[in-house]
Chain A
Amino acid sequence: MQTATTDAGAPVLQARGIGKVFGQHRALDGVDFEARAGEVHALLGENGAGKSTLIKILTGAYQPDEGEVLLNGAPVAFRDPLQAQAQGIGTVYQEVNLLPNRSVAENLFLGHQPTRFGLIRKSVIEARAREVLATYGLEIDVRAELGSYSVAIQQIVAIARAVELSGKVLVLDEPTASLDRNEVQRMFDVVERLKKRGLAIIFITHFLDQVFALSDRVTILRNGRKVGTERLQDVTATDVVRMMLGKDLAFEHHPTGINEGPTGPVRVEFNGLGKAGRVAPFSLKLHEGEVVGVAGLLGSGRTEMARLMFGVDLPDSGQVSVDGKPTTIRNPAQAVAAGFGFCPEDRKLDGIFGDLSVRENIIIALQAKLGWFRALNRDEQDEIAGQYAEALDIRAANHDMPVKLLSGGNQQKVILARWLAIDPSFLILDEPTRGIDVGAHAEIVRTINRLREDGLALLVISSELDEVVAYSNRIVVMRDRELVAELSGEDIAPAVIVKAIAENNTGAA
């Protein structure tokens, strides 16, 4: 493991007590952060932890509601990313934001060409480009189109451009996500060079091994708050995972006593289900009256697993059987016909129909299952919507109002109601408590327990370890797009889960 021996550099970019609120949702709350000259500072957190909001504030895309940003000790208020860039903060994203059909040299200096009497001088630009790229260990034909090079080289050109234009702070936002292992190494070499030149580098990724390989310090965010900043030489992967998944966890066996093991018969069985590049083949049985929790970091393949089960993505191997009968599931419509339900992680994108009414949002899956010609009439719709709205305590002024006017928690309950209305035998919940307030949070957890008691088979994906532990009969752990552990009984404890996630963390690239 590569760790820095010094943190002697002076703070270049500092954030103090940053708070940011979107509507009713608090995205950041009192977050402190600093990046020092000559260090690589990793920023970690699950989806919704506040990483991207913090980065957007540091790079001028958002303005903070509370707190201040300091550059070299002086408070700054960037209007936009261009201003931040002009003052020394450059950003490189996963998707290269350059012009693939222009030459490398042009891309490097676009908008900032060295000119003479107002004329762009090609030969000068090209010579300068060669010079600059040489300092990154890159010797390529700078006259060739950028698009003719690999993504890794394009990334390095993007980094070089950001550093040339800015020069103090470099923000790398998931830069390695589309690179292979050799390319990642090449990128790391470049980052090492820049570190030696005294840049402050902020590194955002969800690959733990890369954090340890490259970074000096790590700051971990969770639910909009800072969990801590640690020197990586002082912590283990397990520590980091624990911080990401549950800062307030009481690391002991949970007391609910529900994990005695399933009693009901097998409801659904997935046998060797997999899709190349998404999830390695896995097998899993779910029983009646059983909750199986899925733990794993972002990008570990947990959502991909659920999508395969529900036919959103087409598996290229494996079989499914429901109540012992082989069943074909090649699209969500077939999954719904088989009695499956799926509350997706991205509620807004994949879940709610914003302009449709609460009532229509609740009955839509049942109606899809019934088909076009067996339309539920208005009275039936009202009855079903009323029944589940009451059961789940959905708070809406009336059921004819557009669902987009409801709060996040109530929207989540509407989607849950939609699936309960089809009387499902197997329900997948992907991050059911994300982005909803604490009260609704507890209600959803209570509902999960009630559904279990009603005999449903449930698969619940969650980054909230304390929650998963509280309601799961069994827990499967995903890592690097693979199902790596199945925990039951005594093993359903945060410490064991964290260990399973962090164990052998040899690279997810």
Chain B
Amino acid sequence: MSIIRKLALAAGVGALLSSAAWADGLQGKVIGFSQIGSESGWRAAETSVTKQQAADRGVDLKFADAQQKQENQIKAIRGFIAQGVDAILVAPVVSTGWEEVLTEAQEAGIPVVLLDRGVDAPQELYLTSVASDQVKEGRVAGDWLVSTVGDKECKVVELQGTVGSSPAINRKQGFEEAIAGHANVTIIRSQTGDFTRSKGKEVMEGFLKAEGGGAGICAVYAHNDDMAVGAIQAIKDAGLKPGTDILVVSIDAVPDIFAAMVAGEANATVELTPDMAGPAFDALDAYLNGGTVPEKFIITESKLYTPADDPQGEYDRRKGLGY
């Protein structure tokens, strides 16, 4: 066999072994990524995962940090168009005001993929959007609690996210849907902890006092892990054992909640994956190389983690992502 035929064969085998049909299909492609900024650990992790994904696939990633400003994002996208990139990823900072710049990208023939948040613009202006389903996140957390407590009576206190924010509304809705058919599981108190650790701790302190020192509380459901970490400390300060006396379930899967799981103080978390870029690259790969138009909304997996899922390993793996 000539060397060329050997290579071709190897490539063919490689393609078959790979999960994607065009394994190195994005090799050498130039893709622009307009990120919102680095306002949270999760956002930082998303950025580092995206860069990692790009490096693994040989993508030449042009990264632009918008520092929370839409005008910077629009500028960055116009810059990408001018450079003639092959595709653009955008994590939009707000939902409105995108029509004009998306039309410009479309006219230039550059596909745009939205990451993590949606926009109020006609769907034909972008290729697809990759995001988690926040209602589903709440539902997975609720389902876990329902199946864990079985038929036992369980009074739940809820630590909401920032009042009026969409994750707070949706995660609350999903959880309520999951426990709806189970009269033994009820939410007795619900307050906002603003997604922060210190407010989570303060609110949990109040709940514990108001509910007879915590004796009546079976579980705490926090809309994010940071508030759960705060609540765990409040429970410990009140002389109870988090994870045993009071179950702790939350959402996001940041490293510190795995550390709490290792210590037996947290029971479950639902992952909001920072890997939005993986599905986005897969879709772009299929579209650019095979012309396959992806679905308009790609929903990332909302995976449940419990102490059975090697929390120490998860902690170590995530610690390096910039959370």
A and B touch in the complex (CB under 8 A): no
